[in-house]
Amino acid sequence: MTGIRNWVVENHDLAFAILLAVIVYGYFGLTNEYFATHRTTFAIMERFAVLGLVGLALTLCIIAGEIDLSIGSNAALAAVIAVRFTDGLGAVTAILIAVSIATAIGIIQGYFIAYLRVRAIVLTVGTLMLLRGVALFAAQEKTVMLTDFRVPDFITTKFFGYFSPASILVIAMFVLVGLFMNYTRYGREIYAIGGARKEALAAGVDLKRPMIIVFAISGFCAGLGGVIIGLRSGTAQALGLQYLLLAGTVAAFIGGVSILGGKGGVVGAAIGTLTVNFLNTGLVFNVTPAFMVQLYLGVLLMIVIMFQTGSRIFDRKQRRRQILGDVDARRGPLLARRTAAARRAPP
């Protein structure tokens, strides 16, 4: 029992995320009889396949103290490329091309951010527009479509009741990235440049390497997510998928990252994404229009931000009070000693 309590105290962000996920799931499970069923679980896992990737990518970026705004455009570009080339070149080649282009874009972004020493938001807001243009170019300003629907069929085959090839791939990806972040030096470097960049640079971390790794993973995740969405539905639009940024950011923040960087992890990303998925799916079950989902996500993000900002202000005040208290505690005896000495030895 004390073990559990210690764990909760140590990982209160994660505990909060789990609590939130359970509450959301419980609410929809109790109010809607179709929610807590095997089929719905499969549907939630299907959503998890895409949003999980985006949430993972944004979690890594925010851990490194940056944010990748171009993630939606990158995903849309990958979706367009994959859908357009699947008919001609076969699914495997098309997927490889799309994902490697997305990863290459990520690497280039990471390199430029580290080389130019600009903030990622500055560069990625530019690439957001640029990649949208490229995607429009690649799609020739039309909605591209598949003609052969064996690929979407394969992607949505059921395994073990709950899983499809896509969601198994994504879970594997989560495990790999989690191991990488926790047990390799490169992963720890990413935490270091997020939490204390100046100190990390002073200690000899090269900014380029972690930045390129973060944005490469981000590009890879965006590309894979775009490919999964595109090939699953058989269509892709150059200007689509912009909602991924909001949903992914909400997932990352529920998962316990801090905008100051250096905090959070892969488990949090998974739980945050699941919470967003529960909310999304539940709202769909309750016949809520699509725009309301955006409203709820916006509200959720604002609440999390207010919570974080409030706790930061509270921490700062607490620390200040502590310092002032310390000063008072030390000054009291000092003054007493001085007055006593003055009384003992009159001038």
Partner 1 sequence: MTGGMIGGARDAATGYVDRLVRDYSALVVCLIALFLIVFIAGMVTAPNFLTLFNFKTIIRDAALVGIMAVGLTFVTLSGNFFLLSMKETAALCIICFATSMSAGYGFEISFLLTMLIALVAGAAQGALIGLGGNPIVVTLGAAGLLFGLGSWWSDNLVVSFRRPHGAEWLGTGSFLGLPNITIAFILIAVSAELVLRYTKFGRQVYLIGANRAAGRATGHENFPMAIKVCMIASVCSAFVAIAFSAQVSSAHVNYFSSEFGSSGDMTIMVIATVMVGGNSIMGGFGSTLRSSLGAIFISTVDNMMVLHGFNSGPRVLAVGLMIVFSIIVFALVRRGARAQE
CB 13 within 8 A of CB 263: yes
What does R_g of the chain's alpha carbons equal in angstroms?
A: 24
b vs e for 320-333, b when ≥16 Cβ sit within 10 Å of the residue's Cβ?
A: eeeeeeeeeeeeee
| Position 108 contacts partner 1 (CB under 8 A) | no
| Position 201 contacts partner 1 (CB under 8 A) | no
Q: Segment near partner 1 (CB under 8 A), from 36-44, 84-92, 239-247, 320-328?
A: 239-247
Compute the least distance from the CB of residue 253 to partner 1, in Å: 7
- Choose between 11 and 288: whose C-beta lies nearer to partner 1: 288
| Position 215 contacts partner 1 (CB under 8 A) | no
Reading the block at residue 188, the tokens are 């720890």
- Choose between 1 and 287: whose C-beta lies nearer to partner 1: 287
CA distance 232 to 78: 13
When binding is defined by CB under 8 A, the residue of 26, 90, 161, 289 that contacts partner 1 is 289
When binding is defined by CB under 8 A, the residue of 30, 125, 179, 324 that contacts partner 1 is 125
Compute the least distance from the CB of residue 312 to partner 1, in Å: 6
CB 263 within 8 A of CB 257: yes
Compute the least distance from the CB of residue 46 to partner 1, in Å: 23
- Taking phi over 0 as left and psi of -120 to 50 as alpha, with beta for the rest, 117 belongs to left
Phi, psi of 184 (to 5 degrees): -115, 160
When binding is defined by CB under 8 A, the residue of 8, 130, 171, 196 that contacts partner 1 is 130
CA distance 192 to 197: 6
| Position 335 contacts partner 1 (CB under 8 A) | no
| Position 233 contacts partner 1 (CB under 8 A) | no
| Position 71 contacts partner 1 (CB under 8 A) | no
When binding is defined by CB under 8 A, the residue of 35, 42, 85, 253 that contacts partner 1 is 253
The DSSP letter of residue 159 is: B
According to DSSP H, which parts of the chain are helical? 2-10, 12-31, 38-63, 71-89, 91-116, 120-139, 150-155, 165-183, 185-195, 197-202, 208-233, 244-254, 266-285, 290-344
| Position 117 contacts partner 1 (CB under 8 A) | yes
Please report, as residue ranges, which positions from 136 to 195 form the binding site for partner 1 (by CB under 8 A): 136-137, 139-141
Question: CA 300, 305, 246, 36 torsion: positive or negative?
Answer: negative
- Choose between 80 and 193: whose C-beta lies nearer to partner 1: 80
Residues that bind partner 1 (CB under 8 A): 67, 69, 112, 116-119, 121-123, 125-134, 136-137, 139-141, 238-239, 242, 245-246, 249-250, 253, 259, 289, 291-292, 294-302, 305-306, 308-309, 312-313
